[in-house]
Amino acid sequence: MSDFIPSANITRTRAGQAHYVSDVDETGLGAVDAVKDESAPSSMWGEAWKQLRRRPMFWVSATIIVLVVLIAAFPQLFASQDPRVCDLSLKHAGPTEGHILGFDRQGCDIYSRIIYGARASVLVGVVTTIAVTFIGSLLGALAGFLGGWLDAILSRLIDIFFAIPFLLAAIVFMQLTAERSVWTVILVLTVFGWTSIARIARGTVMSVKNEEFVTAARATGASRWRILMSHIVPNSMAPIIVYATVALGGFIVAEASLSFLGIGLPSHIVSWGNDISAAKASLRTDPQVLFYPAIALGTTVLSFIMMGDVVREALDPKARKK
């Protein structure tokens, strides 16, 4: 048996077999296995933003929402006419200079009323959504995290309110209200609109609280309140935000429905619901009087629904795969 002599390049020939041994330095295993760790790890919200900015639907819905919010906040920048100044001699008059959509049954400028009507409708939707998100998230998170008798009580309370038809309950309570205002509508919609978010928050918190990072936080001695607010709630917000985005459009529709029935906002408040209600008497002769505020309402609600869909797909990897 011959001695083995190491060499950088040795070709051994054995019965039709060639074997090549290369230098260890040429293999480069260290370079192959090396992992670049200079960049910070991407968060869930960072990955969601990467997905959102690639979607045309996100930019379309975001543009409409921003425009509607600006109109609601600063209507005087978009309309120069006073929506409450009406002239009966201009009843159902067509478009003229300075009045691009014409006049309604009372001789009021339709364009100005649409612009100024956005404030009440959007205000009801935004404030109600904030209120129900806070109440529903708080009660749902406490029920899901603490469990026990508190979970049983809050869950039964959620079931009771969830069993009450939302719009029907709002109609009944608005009829019982002596003085109606924007804040009355917000209060009634909040009282009966928080249950869905509470259920979502409860289920999400119950899922997240069993994750390994929560166990690690308990091992470090973190208090229950700190674990809930610093670890569980931030990781449970994705489905809540998605539902709240869609629900905002639903609350705007609910306000318009109540106003259409004559039990929502008072008639002296300019809103899309009131304008649609007032235009129903002229539907056969001048349908455009109803169509204009209805188009504004539908476009706004559709933009929030579209935003909710793209946000859901961005935050849910399973939805992206579909």
pLDDT of residue 251: 93
Q: How do residues 210-232 score in pLDDT, each as one tens digit?
A: 888 888 888 888 888 888 888 88
- Yes or no: say if 214 and 231 are a contact pair by the CB < 8 Å rule: yes
**Per residue in 167-204, pLDDT tens?**
889 999 888 887 888 999 999 999 999 999 999 999 88
Supply 48's token pair: 């969601």
Tell which residue, 233, 172, 188, has the closest CA to residue 206.
Answer: 233
The per-residue pLDDT for 295 is 93
* Regions of the chain short of the pLDDT cut 70: 1-45, 316-322
Query: What pTM, to 2 d.p., does this model score?
Result: 0.79
Got the DSSP string for 191-221? HHHSHHHHHHHHHHHHHHTTSHHHHHHHHTT
Beta bridge partners of 96: 99
Domains and CATH numbers, the chain: 102-319 (1.10.3720.10)
Of 183, 186, 181, the C-alpha closest to 170 is: 186
C-alpha 292/C-alpha 276 separation (Å) is 9
The whole-number pLDDT of residue 187 equals 93
pLDDT of residue 126: 93
